[in-house]
Amino acid sequence: MTLTLLLDLDDTLLNTNLDSFVPAYFQALATNLAPHIAPEKMLRALISGTHLMSENADFSRTLEEVFGAEFYRQINVAREELEPAIENFYDNIFPTLSSLTSQRPESKPFIDWAFAQGFRVAIATDPLLPLKATNHRLRWAGFEPGQFEIVSTFDHFHFSKTHPAYYAEVLGRMGWPDGPVLMVGNDMERDILPAQKLGLATYHIDGESASRSGLEAGARGNLQDLRPWLESTDLASLTPSFKSVDSILGILSATPAALNGLSYGLDSSAWSHEPTPDDWSLTELICHMRDTEREIHHMQIRLFMEQNEPFIPRPDTSVWASQRDYLHENGVIALREFNDARRETLALLKNIGESEWGRRARHAIFGPTNFLEIISFIADHDRMHIQQAWSTLKKM
């Protein structure tokens, strides 16, 4: 059984005293940029931009875009003027901060063992730093970035680790793998609780000897104990459950973010590529998701808002691709339209009270159901088509 491991970096794989590292990092950046910006102004802009990244819930804007809009607005310096100095900082100054960190001797043996088991491994570090900075930190820990299936950075991620949607975005960018998933990290507020809200099993690195207190609470221990804990654990018990309101809303928010990331920079041939004559291209997939969102999902939600125990129809959408000639649409525009439609979906769901999620209905295919299950079908639909999109892109 293939396990997907999501691993935090700081104080999980790399010893990092964030209380000393972050001020030193900010001060070094302020000093390096002093010829262009007064350090006090730069620090205020840096802190403000970082706060907005942490709070961002807009799946259409990367954290880099969120940060850049605030940072450059506050310092009133053109991005083009400052970029050479910033690139120089991350190339030549940031690496000197390695002395504030140290390798964990147990990290590399664990990672080597995980790869030998055939596990899929992602570095789920809080994506508040650019790619160059995160790659440096991975090398300080003794790894090469290319070893890992994905490494989250602010260049291409849309949520910080305070949001369950972050973890859904990581899994979406990995093609929504089936089977067990485990999030491993040291920070209860950013690594453990949001991952559990999504429905993931967790392992809390707390420096103490390993103990198992039940999957609901999550396991805990030190990194050295993680391998024997995994060897003694039925991996099937780590299979996620995506049936809570928090997990469903996390997936719904993360789906456009994952699609935006997976499709970034693709040319027209990639958008129209069909692996086989029976497969949909990425453009056809996105058009299908857009129209299903507009014409099916919005209708289903509104039926619940307007009727007491509604009958939920489910039209056959499989014929739309040929009937509507999806292949010859513009995939980039279709994705933008899907983003807009999903934004409307989430706005509708914000108006649903806690007690409303249990309201009953009858589904045309599944029979007796309730509102929570209907919305969970949307999340399942998302996951299925992201798997399909990811597979299509891998076959190019």
User: Residue 351's pLDDT band (boundaries 50, 70, 90)?
Assistant: confident
- Dist. CA 77–CA 237, nearest whole Å: 53
* pLDDT single digits (tens) 281-304: 999 999 999 999 999 999 999 999
395 falls in which pLDDT band (50, 70, 90)?
confident
Contact criterion met (CB below 8 Å) for 218 and 232: no
C-alpha to C-alpha distance for 286 and 298, rounded to whole angstroms:
17
Superfamily grouping for domain 263-394: dinb family like domain (1.20.120.450)
Q: Is the pLDDT of residue 248 over 70?
A: yes
The pLDDT of residue 217 is 59
**Do the strands 367-370 and 360-363 form a parallel or antiparallel pair, or are they unpaired?**
antiparallel
pLDDT digits (tens, 9 = 90+) for 65-102: 999 999 999 999 999 999 999 999 999 999 999 999 99
Burial (CB < 10 A; 0-12, 13-18, 19+), residue 209, is exposed
Structure tokens at 101: 């960190």
- Of 245 and 209, the one with more pLDDT: 245
Note the CATH architecture for domain 4-14+104-238.
Answer: 3-Layer(aba) Sandwich (3.40)
Residue 210 has pLDDT above 80, yes or no: no
- String of DSSP letters for 207-227: SSPPB---TTT-EEE-HHHHH
Round to whole Å and give the CA distance between 232 and 342: 41
First to last CA, the chain: 27
Task: Report the predicted TM-score, pTM, of the whole model to 2 decimal places.
Answer: 0.95
For residue range 185-198, what is the model confidence (pLDDT) as tens digits?
A: 999 999 999 999 99
